[in-house]
Structure 1
Amino acid sequence: MTEHAVVISGAGPTGLMLAGELALAGIDVAIVERRPDQELFGTRAGGLSARTLEVFDQRGIADRFLEAGQIAQVTGFAVTRLDISDFPTRHNYGLALRQKHIERILAGWVGELAVPIYRGRDVTSFAEDEAGITIQLSDGAPLRARYLVGCDGGR
């Protein structure tokens, strides 16, 4: 049985970012993703906030997103646009960039960190015991982990 310290269910932006953070901390992490690749159909998130860009900058990956997106003043409140160009940050703007591109870039980064992604599989069940969790995948293969994190969307 394959073992990891942490298994993340879901290779969307949240799961990918968590996997990257854990890998940078030296933790053995893997992702289970039902999609066979990082392709997304339809429109989802449309951009990144200034704070997200700051976090990406701390990880040395902000330029990857900036090259793919379009800088814009996208911050607002109650349909009122807010100009944040004078905020004390290197990234005093938002970035227009569709989720399919955000995921593609994050998946590339996670790949560089050697995080395994079990693609084309679902988590079908799990059983917790005092030592960890046994995770059953849709292809019949089990995984073992200390922690299982659900990052598989709101549905």
Structure 2
Amino acid sequence: MTEHAVVIAGGGPTGLMLAGELALAKIDVAIVERRANQDLPGSRAGGLHARTIEVLDQRGIAERFLAEGKKAQVAGFAATKFDISDFPTRHPYGLGLWQNHIERILAAWVGELPVT
């Protein structure tokens, strides 16, 4: 049996991002995921918020997501629209990108790191 300092249950966006962060901190980490790939039945998360894009940018991987998603400077909640173009950030927009694409991009990044 192989031992790791941290075992993450689930290879969704949260598990993949956590694995990447731990690997960058030189912590021995493994992901356990029941799915063989990032194919998802139905729709789940449909995009990324500005703050999430900032975090991805801090890791040098935001461009991977931006290349595949659709930027939107208007966010909606119920029937209300919000202009977010003046957010004080390098990324004053949300990014339309389905979860299966988000996971595929994160999995490729994690694959470049020492994660089992």
Q: Normalising by structure 1, report the TM-score.
A: 0.72
Q: Is the 8 A contact 2:56 2:62 kept in 1?
A: yes
Q: Is the 8 A contact 1:8 1:19 kept in 2?
A: yes
- The aligned counterpart of 1:109 is 109
Report which of the two has the higher share of helix: 2
- The aligned counterpart of 1:24 is 24
- The aligned counterpart of 1:62 is 62
Alignment partner of 1:76: what SS?
Answer: strand
Whichever residue aligns with residue 80 of structure 1, its letter is T
Q: Give per-residue Cα distances to partners, 1:47-69, cap 9 Å, x unaligned.
A: 10000000000000000000010
Q: Give per-residue Cα distances to partners, 1:118-155, cap 9 Å, x unaligned.
A: xxxxxxxxxxxxxxxxxxxxxxxxxxxxxxxxxxxxxx
Whichever residue aligns with residue 22 of structure 1, its letter is L
Q: Is the 8 A contact 2:74 2:85 kept in 1?
A: no
CA distance in 2, matches of 1:41, 1:109: 23
> Which structure 2 residues correspond to residues 28-47 of structure 1 after superposition, within 5 A?
28-47=28-47
The runs of at least 4 consecutive aligned structure 1 residues that moved more than 4 Å come to none
Choose 1 or 2 for highest CA Rg: 1
Q: Give per-residue Cα distances to partners, 1:97-121, cap 9 Å, x unaligned.
A: 00000000000000001311xxxxx
Whichever residue aligns with residue 11 of structure 2, its letter is A
Q: Give per-residue Cα distances to partners, 1:14-46, cap 9 Å, x unaligned.
A: 000000010011100000000112222221111
- The aligned counterpart of 2:83 is 83
Q: Is the 8 A contact 1:74 1:95 kept in 2?
A: no
Identity of aligned residues (%): 77
User: Alignment length, in residue pairs?
Assistant: 116
- The aligned counterpart of 1:8 is 8
CA-atom RMSD in angstroms: 1.1
CA distance in 2, matches of 1:48, 1:42: 18
Q: Which ranges of structure 1 fall in alignment gaps of 5 or more residues?
A: 117-155
Q: Give per-residue Cα distances to partners, 1:59-92, cap 9 Å, x unaligned.
A: 0000000001000124234431111111111100
Report which of the two has the higher share of strand: 1
Q: Is the 8 A contact 2:49 2:94 kept in 1?
A: yes
Q: Which ranges of structure 2 fall in alignment gaps of 5 or more residues?
A: none
Alignment partner of 2:11: what SS?
Answer: coil
